[in-house]
């Protein structure tokens, strides 16, 4: 039986494609939250949950705009698309306005919450009564998510929270705000949304910057464990070649194998009395591996991995680190609207994954089959939505596009970007040396100049990329916790 048959998924049909012309929506000016930047303009966009039922249930999307200090003529705008899926874009306005400060002089910076990331509707699934032992066993407890899907389905049509519908929202809001053409800056999952926008509305795009690009034909979490193992091996090899790191941790690969053996055997335990624990707390191998994998996303945090692995592998000194893992897992529970994450990945990704192949690829890795197990279990009780046959095909566009792929990215490896750029004749791919999925280390020293030049001039071919060769890795963090 195929994976698609297991999920009961059928794949029609032209009706799934978004309408190319904008739909009529309502914009309402609102008072900005106290956390917003002082000069932001805040708007609530009221859109149909189901565009096939325009007078049916409505949902609201928060929009925040930082108007250009020196507006260009015609006006220019930069739409910021965040990752996840699930990160609330308006919550990043302060940090993003600093990153794009130079462009903000002449461009409006526009932040639109993707449907399902705000409070109307609220797709968070955290269960405040969840037993801690369950949290430390799973990332997404299947029973909790099944209950969440059932609860949300009373008031929400979970089949309408898709990337294609989100692209349609973006286009409708763009038109309602009277922007003829927009610049797009997209991160991680946001690059999937950006490409879906280009697929349907590329005449409304001036230039697109993709950072940590996701190719349309890739499926989360396919390859996650093996790519993480590749990145981790690279880090440990660099530690072996580094005098200070190899002196502090003379057997980094031995430490890793020792940790794997513990995780696959008796497991790690935060003991009673340690850090105020009332009882022994068992932490699953998958939760520990997921915590360590998170450090691979930026080279600054990856520099701590030899120390973290060494510490965890030595049970006489790992209690403080285990307490931090427990704290991280508790925060993860409500870190994102996991209802949206499931609505997207359970339909756009999981049905297309060869589960048997992924388990074989994951064998022997630190992460193992944990994420495959977790997401397949979580998705079994999630409502099915339809995915257009073209959704996973490459996007052909002649629009200017610049792709930045980190050399050591474990989440969206550069092979993703190579698939994308082959269909973008006016595009350029930069494999950024000594960087990972996040690229903001020393941003002002190089990548700000590269990206600003591209977005101002909408020409990828003329961008001077010489400075990327000078980007360096940070020193290893060898100090004890």
pLDDT confidence of residue 481:
63
CB-based contact 181:206 (threshold 8 Å):
yes
Q: Please name the helix (run of DSSP H) or strand (run of DSSP E) that holds residue 59, with its range, or none.
A: strand 58-66
What phi and psi, each to the nearest 5 degrees, are found at residue 61?
A: -120, 125
Q: For residue 480, what pLDDT band results from cuts at 50, 70 and 90?
A: confident
Q: For residue 116, what pLDDT band results from cuts at 50, 70 and 90?
A: very high
Gap between the Cα atoms of 271 and 307, Å rounded: 21
pLDDT confidence of residue 127:
85
Residues 6+ apart with CB under 8 A from 108: 65, 66, 67, 68, 71, 75, 76, 77, 78, 179
Of 225, 162, 265, 264, nearest in space to 373 by CA: 225
pLDDT confidence of residue 72:
80
Gap between the Cα atoms of 64 and 16, Å rounded: 29
CB-based contact 75:131 (threshold 8 Å):
no
Whether pLDDT at 415 is above 90: yes
Residues 6+ apart with CB under 8 A from 462: 453
Gap between the Cα atoms of 76 and 100, Å rounded: 14
Gap between the Cα atoms of 203 and 268, Å rounded: 54
Least confident of 17-21, 180-184, 407-411: 17-21
Whether pLDDT at 316 is above 70: yes
Least confident of 6-10, 12-16, 35-39, 73-77: 6-10
C-alpha atoms less than 13 angstroms from C-alpha of 469 in its C-beta half-sphere: 3
Whether pLDDT at 4 is above 50: no
CB-based contact 83:187 (threshold 8 Å):
yes
Whether pLDDT at 350 is above 80: yes
Of 345, 321, 331, nearest in space to 481 by CA: 321
Whether pLDDT at 13 is above 60: no
Structure tokens belonging to residue 361: 């690829």
pLDDT confidence of residue 457:
95
CB-based contact 309:255 (threshold 8 Å):
yes
Peptide bond into 232 cis (omega under 30): no
Structure tokens belonging to residue 98: 């600093």
pLDDT confidence of residue 16:
41
Q: Model confidence over 287-299: pLDDT tens digits? A: 999 999 999 999 9
CB-based contact 255:249 (threshold 8 Å):
yes
CA 128 vs. chain centroid, Å, equals 25
pLDDT confidence of residue 454:
97
Least confident of 12-21, 160-169, 449-458: 12-21
Whether pLDDT at 10 is above 60: no
Q: Average pLDDT of 101-125?
A: 95
Strands (E), 167-234: 182-187, 205-211
Of 378, 393, 312, 305, nearest in space to 347 by CA: 378
């Amino acid at each position: 039986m195929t994976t698609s048959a297991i999920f009961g998924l059928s794949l029609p049909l032209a009706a799934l494609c978004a309408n190319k012309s904008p739909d009529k929506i309502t914009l309402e000016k609102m008072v900005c939250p106290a956390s917003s930047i002082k000069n932001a303009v805040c708007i609530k966009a009221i859109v149909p949950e189901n565009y096939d039922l325009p007078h049916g249930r409505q949902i609201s999307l928060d929009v925040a705009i930082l108007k250009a200090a020196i507006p260009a003529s015609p006006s220019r705008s930069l739409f910021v698309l965040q990752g996840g899926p699930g990160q609330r874009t308006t919550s990043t306005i302060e940090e993003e306005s600093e990153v794009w400060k130079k462009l903000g002089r002449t461009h409006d910076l526009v932040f639109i919450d993707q449907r399902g990331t705000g409070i109307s509707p609220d797709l968070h699934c955290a269960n405040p009564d969840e037993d801690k032992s369950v949290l430390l066993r799973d990332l997404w407890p299947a029973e909790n998510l099944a209950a969440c899907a059932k609860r949300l389905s009373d008031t929400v049509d979970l089949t309408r929270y898709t990337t294609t519908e989100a692209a349609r929202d973006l286009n409708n809001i763009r038109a309602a705000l009277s922007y003829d053409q927009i610049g797009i800056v997209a991160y991680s999952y946001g690059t999937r949304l950006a490409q879906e926008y280009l697929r349907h509305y590329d005449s409304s795009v001036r230039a697109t910057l993709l950072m940590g690009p996701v190719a349309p034909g890739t499926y989360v979490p396919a390859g996650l464990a093996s790519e993480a193992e590749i990145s981790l091996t690279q880090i440990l090899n660099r530690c072996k070649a580094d005098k200070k790191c190899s002196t502090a941790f003379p057997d980094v690969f031995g430490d890793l194998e020792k940790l794997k053996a513990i995780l696959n055997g008796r497991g790690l335990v935060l003991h009673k009395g340690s850090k105020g624990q009332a009882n022994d707390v068992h932490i699953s191998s998958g939760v520990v591996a997921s915590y360590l994998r998170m450090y691979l996303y930026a080279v600054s945090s990856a520099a701590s991995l030899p120390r973290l692995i060494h510490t965890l592998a030595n049970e006489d000194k790992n209690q403080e680190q285990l307490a931090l893992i427990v704290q991280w897992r508790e925060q993860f529970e409500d870190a994102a609207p996991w209802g949206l994450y499931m609505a997207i990945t359970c339909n756009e990704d999981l049905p297309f994954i060869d589960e048997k192949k992924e388990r074989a690829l994951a064998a022997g890795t630190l992460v193992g089959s944990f994420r495959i197990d977790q997401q397949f279990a979580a998705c079994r009780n999630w409502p099915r939505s339809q995915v257009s046959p073209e959704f996973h095909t490459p996007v052909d566009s002649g629009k200017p596009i610049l792709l930045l792929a980190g050399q050591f990215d474990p989440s969206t490896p550069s092979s993703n970007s190579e698939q994308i750029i082959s269909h973008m004749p006016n595009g350029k791919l930069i494999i950024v040396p000594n960087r990972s999925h996040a690229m903001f280390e020393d941003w002002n020293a190089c990548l700000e100049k590269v990206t600003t030049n591209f977005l101002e001039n909408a020409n990828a071919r003329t961008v001077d990329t010489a400075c990327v060769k000078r980007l360096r890795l940070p020193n290893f963090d060898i100090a004890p916790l």
